[in-house]
A and B are shown apart, each in its own frame.
Chain A
Amino acid sequence: MSDAVRPGVVRAAALAHKPAFWVILALLAAGGLRIAQITWRFLDAYPIATLTAVVLFALLAVPFWLFVSELDFLEREPASLRVLAFAWGGLVATTVSIPASTALDNLIAKLGSPALAADWGAALAGPTVEETVKTLGVVAIVLIARAQVNSVLDGVVYGALVGLGFQIVEDVVFAIGAVAQAGQGDQVQPVVTTLLVRGFLAGVWSHTLFGALAGAGIGYLVVNPDRTRRHRIGMAALALFGAWASHVLWNSPFFRDGLGNGALALLAVLLFKGLPPLLLTLYLVRRAHDAEAAYYVAKLATLRDPSLITPDELRVLGSGSRRAAARRHAGARAGRRARVAVRRLQRAQARLAVDLSRAPAQAHETEAASEVRAHRSRLESLGHPEAVEGVRSWRHTVSTAGTTAVAIAVIWVALSALGGG
């Protein structure tokens, strides 16, 4: 989508001086109050089910959070802004979407027909309201911390986290709705079913994905000032449309009754509805990641200082799989401490790259440069001085195959249980 990377720096204290920050904070507080009210009502009616839902979906959020946070290894977004993005999705976007989506669904029934609303209400009302509100969360981050949106990938990360926050709170609401609908009192079984359906089966291609797509558009809008405003807004609108269309397809009545019974039929429906946006987003993330990696690696290459980064480490740092391979290689060759040290070295090198892009002249004297040298000497003392890849080990191949088999088995069990196969 874009090759642009525009590094900047945001000071936490400066945020407090921005009136826009307080406006966004007020919105978060209002959303938090509303969600607290809803949660309190749930706790009053179904305490065990509510606590179970909150804990299970919070646990489900952890791997998503870690994965999304790691997407931008080279220039990690500040934790405060990641939390803000998540909170916007979970508190503001949900608070707005509950009454607005219901109203839009009703309007579809009134201006069209109840049958139209039954078939297309969820497909049109939900995406229209939810994608708009979630995207505004990324815009809000741009308004208060413009310097932290430096690349399309940053937009992807913030958008995905807004989507994740929305998804988790929405899942809890749906779980308690299922408990109420079941009419069997304070039971956890409907919560577990909701976790299987909305967490495991629908979780991969749900709000996190749609949010990432729309966030990529906002990232492009912000980091390409050399393009015309019309072009940038057009690209952002196209990305938002992509998120909306993906959501519409997911909620659409197509194959609502499935392609027959059994796990394979359910899998086919999931793939038909979820795979196109997943592949599109993965492609965008890959391009944005590679563009950003190329930019920062080029910055580090100008140092020509092997104590900070060697030519082989430059090749490794730009790729997530190579970074992981270098850590594994260190672990296999010099033990767990070397593995940890390589990870720390890579992190420090990434921070150094960001420092370099902001103030090239002082890069050699920054804190990150000192950290790199400290981790380098630690690695030297462990007998593994360079963070490079090794030969792919059979142990890693077996481990990857085993993990994949377990994941497929879990999905298959869930599909079989739900698909009647």
Chain B
Amino acid sequence: MGRVTRSQHTDLPGTLALPLALVIVLVLAGLTFGLPLLDRAVPAQRAVPAGESYEVGAGVTIVPPPGATLDVTGTRPGGTQGTALFQLSTRPDESPVRYAIAVQPFDGDLTAAAVRLRQRITGTSGHRLTGTQLAVSTAGGLAGVQGGYTAGGRGGRYAVFVAHGLTIEVTVSGDDRELARTLAAIDASTRTLRHEGRR
């Protein structure tokens, strides 16, 4: 214990405290800003086969609109829940419309599911609901409700379905003009929602 060694004399943390502290700053900056930069540099869009159904999660499938791409950053399939995010654009100079589907276990009824989704939408700063809520159904027999919302200069649509102990939430958002151009295709896609049982 009493012996002082050469390596004690050259105590690394003591003599290099400032450079090492700056290294810490660099590592933290790399993680905070570098990783997100790298993330943004790698494309997130994946082509999806036209007309083929895509499994969102928990046995729920949907046929994406023609020309839609899958955004893998918002897509997480799973056995008991899942999310899928598609992007749809008719013109390269317009920002794409976001078309998100989320499936999760739910033990309430359709009214409760709709209230929950509407509260989540209005809970986001700047978002408010527009128009009235209408009934909607899918080709696969799912019954739900749909409505609209606005967020600044952007418009939005939502739909929610409850079936087999699951809630299926659909949210669409985009620039008003682009949304108007793609909405028919998105509505058609939403009507293809189907529960095919747990896989």
Contacts and interface: CB of A to CB of B under 8 A. Distances in A.
User: Which of A5, A103, A146 has the most chain B CB within a 10 Å cutoff?
Assistant: A103
Contacts of A407: none
B79 interface: yes
B176 interface: no
Contacts of B18: 18-20, 23
A225 interface: yes
Contacts of A19: 17-18, 21
Given A96-B32, A180-B123, A110 B20 contact: no
Contacts of A115: 77
Contacts of A180: 120, 123
B163 to A, nearest CB: 18
Interface string B31-62: 11101101100111000000000000000000
Given A100-B31, A144-B17, A110 B11 contact: no
Contacts of B75: 109, 114
Interface string B54-91: 00000000000000001011011111101000000000
B132 interface: no
Given A109-B73, A183-B115, A226 B123 contact: no
Interface in B12-40: 12-14, 17-18, 20-22, 24-25, 27-28, 31-33, 35-36, 38-39
A92 B27 CA distance: 12
Interface of B: 1, 3, 5, 7-8, 11-14, 17-18, 20-22, 24-25, 27-28, 31-33, 35-36, 38-39, 42-44, 70, 72-73, 75-80, 82, 115-120, 123, 125
A113 B72 contact: yes
A306 to B, nearest CB: 25
Nearest to A34: B32
B7 A229 contact: yes
Contacts of B11: 146, 225
A237 interface: no
Given A18-B17, A143-B13, A185-B119, A114 B76 contact: yes
A132 B31 contact: yes
Contacts of B35: 99-100, 103-104, 107, 129
